[in-house]
Copies of this chain bind each other. A is one copy, B any other.
Amino acid sequence: MIENDFYSQANHGPYELHDIGDLALEEGGTIRGCKLAVATHGRLNEAGDNAILVPTWFSGTNKIMEQVYVGPGRALDPQKHFIVIVNQIGGGLSTSPHNVPQPSNMARFPLVRIGDDVRAQHKLLTEVYGVESLALVFGASMGAQQAYEWAVRYPDMVKRAAPVAGTARNTDHDFIFTQTLIDAITSDPGWNGGWYRNGGDVHAGLRRHAALWAVMGWSTEFYKREIWRGIGFSSREDFVVNFMEGYFLPMDPNALLSMAWKWQRGDVGRVAGGDLAVALGRIKAKTYVMPISTDMFFPPSDCHAEQKLIPGSEFRPIESQCGHFGLIGVEQSFTEQIDRNLRELLASEV
């Protein structure tokens, strides 16, 4: 285990750690005493029909989901719903490369798939919280991958699904983008095959990784309109260094690599012998597919093709000038569109 002050209650809390026992992984490894970092808001009602699951995205934790999407008067309202935000495995707060004891630590951390996360979350919800039905699974980016996986694996349990800016099966184009993120880190000699002393040894790789996100994560419109001014930056360069590099530098490099590997291989078709149409055809949840209009790696065209395979689903693209990172809620219009769609979805009969 290596010290990393970033993954703390101070930065991301309050959250609870739940040990769900050993988790046998789809790729063959086992996480012994798998711990999930969970933040809950509101209470499960007597009917048990107000639970909402919110998985997390690449590099994100429960905290950003709370800040952007949860609150009184919002579509995800703790006064109405029991909202359970579960940090993904490998994300830094739940069981992750830097916080497990040797010998399975760091470069030896086992390969984790989206399906592993979803099965772990299912165990958590049913055994710890007594949740048997989900009014909604709402997730963005890698959270959308998990939302799709939930709707396919547990079609009777998931009543509604809202995958934002993500896909059910990762595309080839997205795979090679994610590979550049991986290579930016692993090409840093300081990474040392995963056996660095601390994340600072890999700062050059993390900075290049951040620069790739600066290109693919936002959009040409974001830079043209200098939307970064509105969030406190004085120039493009100031933004790239002090927002993008500043955001990723405190994170554990192996955690980012664990998530990136998982992200690359997101594919609900695995549960149907590789047949995406069959897998998506199993979904019973009322599903709103919500890509972001300017997203460069989960573009609306890719999401639309999948939406057509989901019975009774609707295509609800979100207009944004910010590209994929629109999902951090820089634009008020973005969160308004999300809330409008989620309110309508939550009000729909299922």
Residue positions of A touching B, CB distance < 8 A: 171-177, 179-180, 183-184, 187-189, 204, 208, 211-212, 214-216, 218-224, 226, 236, 240, 296-297, 299, 301-302
Contacts and interface: CB of A to CB of B under 8 A. Distances in A.
Nearest to A216: B215
Nearest to A240: B176
Nearest to A297: B220
B224 A173 contact: yes
A76 to B, nearest CB: 30
Given A173-B218, A180-B211, A180-B212, 10 more contacts: A171-B224, A172-B224, A173-B222, A173-B223, A173-B224, A176-B240, A180-B208, A184-B208, A220-B297, A220-B299
B174 A220 contact: yes
Contacts of A183: 208, 211
B176 A214 contact: yes
Nearest to A302: B220
Contacts of A176: 211, 214-215, 223, 236, 240
A302 B180 CA distance: 25
A258 B183 CA distance: 24
A180 B222 CA distance: 18
A50 B223 CA distance: 41
A160 B223 CA distance: 31
A176 B218 CA distance: 11
26 contacts: A172-B224, A172-B226, A172-B236, A173-B215, A173-B218, A173-B219, A173-B220, A173-B222, A173-B223, A174-B220, A175-B236, A176-B211, A176-B214, A176-B223, A179-B211, A180-B211, A180-B212, A184-B208, A187-B188, A187-B208, A215-B216, A220-B297, A220-B301, A221-B301, A224-B302, A296-B296
Question: Can you list the 3 inter-chain pairs with the closest CB atoms, starting with the nearest?
Answer: A172-B223, A173-B220, A173-B223
Contacts of A220: 171-174, 297, 299, 301-302
A293 to B, nearest CB: 11
A178 to B, nearest CB: 9
